[in-house]
Amino acid sequence: ISRDAQGMATLVCRVRDTGDGMSQALASRVFQPFVQGETSTTAYYSGTGLGLSICARLSELMGGHISVESVEGVGSAFTVVIPFAEPAATAPAHGLTMLGGMVMVLCQETESGATLEAWLTRVGCQVHVLPASCAAHTWLCTSHPQIMVVTGEYGLDTIRSLRTICPANAVWITRNGPDRPAELESGIFEVSAYNHAAILAGVKTALIGPPRPVETTNGTAGANGKAQAEATPHSPDQRGTVLVAEDNPLNRMLIAEQLETIGWTSIVVNDGRQALAVLDQQAVDIVLTDIQMPVMNGYELLSAIKAKRPPLPVFAFSAVT
């Protein structure tokens, strides 16, 4: 990273290799779509010739550029230069509502815990992830988070037990949870594990409290709260629901954030089988699926959807060319 006299920051990323290199004639065209090296090289390494053209386009969209220096038989050096404007110190991430506050996450699965930590950190929360309820009990004896986020491996009894130590609001993330926060009982909000926007909405609701008190009559507060939450109409900015099947945690997070930014609600699952389970329980507007996934891949998912729901639009993506 370098800075000019005005303090403008510029990111310079350079990658060198000791491969076959390329001629000056090829180097002058290599950022054009579908341009590749010699036929023998292409046959050996495969590919489509689109990768570098995509890099060039992305660099341009960010206000920068990409260049190459190459010597045949010696290797190549690719350089990307991107200028950066200094962001305002308090400016939130584009399209996201900043929340803040200390959050305890209780989650057995390492990957899921890391994903939740990344999501909540991105919106300004200070996150502490714990893998077991005994560790959570110990931690709560000396720490006081604003809210707790508990995944579906743990039941309501665990949440109630934790709240006897620290009476903070709690978000319970379950596979069968609703797409909008539902108050099961005072201070405990259930949301869907497959919906990124629902999880963030649950955290926001727990942090600021419900917009109005939930009536409690003969122990029916949870049911009434859930009915009220589910009766809340969709935001006019929401365009619909996208079911995303993707086994990579980072890709799941990025896709969910991008969809939220443009006004779509997402339900995120790890593989095709989980996607079919969601489709059996609720309607969605679009399916976005990876091709290479464990358990059930994108091809198998597409065949199953075509057999059950032919009109449902499905978009597939893959890193395989």
b/e per residue 163-200 (b: at least 16 CB within 10 A) = beebebbbbbbbeebbbbbbbbbebbbbbbbbbbbbbb
Residues 10-63: pLDDT tens digits? 889 999 998 888 888 888 888 888 776 655 454 445 556 678 888 888 888 888
CA of 16: how far to CAs of 1, 55, 74, in Å?
18, 16, 11
- Residue 264: per-residue pLDDT: 85
Q: Cα separation of 176 and 14, whole Å? A: 47
CA distance 210 to 225: 10
For the chain, give the percent of residues with pLDDT over 90.
Answer: 29
Give the total number of structural domains in the chain. Answer: 3
Domain that holds residue 151: 102-212+222-231
Please give the backbone phi and psi of residue 291, each rounded to the nearest 5 degrees, phi first.
Answer: -85, -50
Are residues 247 and 227 located together in one domain of the fold? no
- The CA distance from 67 to 100, in Å, is 41
> For 163-204, what is each residue's pLDDT tens digit?
999 989 999 999 888 888 888 888 899 998 878 888 988 998
Strand order across the 9-16 sheet? 2-3, 9-16, 75-84, 65-71
CATH value at residue 17:
3.30.565.10
Task: Based on the fold, state whether residues 168 and 64 are members of the same structural domain.
Answer: no
Give the C-alpha separation, 119 to 191, whole Å.
15
Structural domain includes residue 94: no
Give the containing element (helix H, strand E) for 240.
strand 240-245
Closest CA to 264 of 190, 210, 315: 315
CATH number of the domain bearing residue 244: 3.40.50.2300
φ/ψ (deg, to 5) at 315 = -115, 125
Note whether 70 and 111 are same-domain residues: no
| pTM: predicted TM-score of the whole model, two decimal places | 0.43
Please indicate, yes or no, if residue 89 is contained in any of the structural domains.
Answer: no
- Whether 95 is covered by a domain: the verdict is no
**Cα(44)–Cα(255) distance, integer angstroms:** 32
d(CA 270, CA 248) in angstroms, rounded, equals 8
**Tokens encoding 183:** 């108050």
Q: Are 214 and 155 in contact (CB under 8 A)?
A: no
Tokens standing for residue 182? 């539902």
| Helix, strand, or coil (residue 89) | coil
Q: pLDDT value at position 313? A: 92
Q: How many residues does the chain have?
A: 321
Cα–Cα distances in angstroms (integers) from residue 283 to residues 2, 7, 114, 241, in the given order: 50, 51, 29, 8
Please tell me the predicted confidence (pLDDT) of residue 38. 57
Judgement on whether residues 11 and 131 belong to the same structural domain of the protein: no
Residue 216 has a pLDDT of 37
Beta bridge partners of 103: 127, 147
Tens of pLDDT, residues 122-136: 888 999 999 999 999
Q: How far apart are CA 149 and CA 201, in angstroms?
A: 12
Q: State the pLDDT at residue 159.
A: 93
| DSSP H or E stretch at residue 207 | helix 196-208
- Asked if residue 9 has pLDDT above 90, the reply is no
Residues 195 and 280 in one domain: no
Q: Are 227 and 106 within one domain?
A: yes
Say whether both 110 and 72 belong to one domain. Answer: no
User: Looking at residue 103, what is its pLDDT?
Assistant: 94
- Mean per-residue pLDDT of the chain: 80
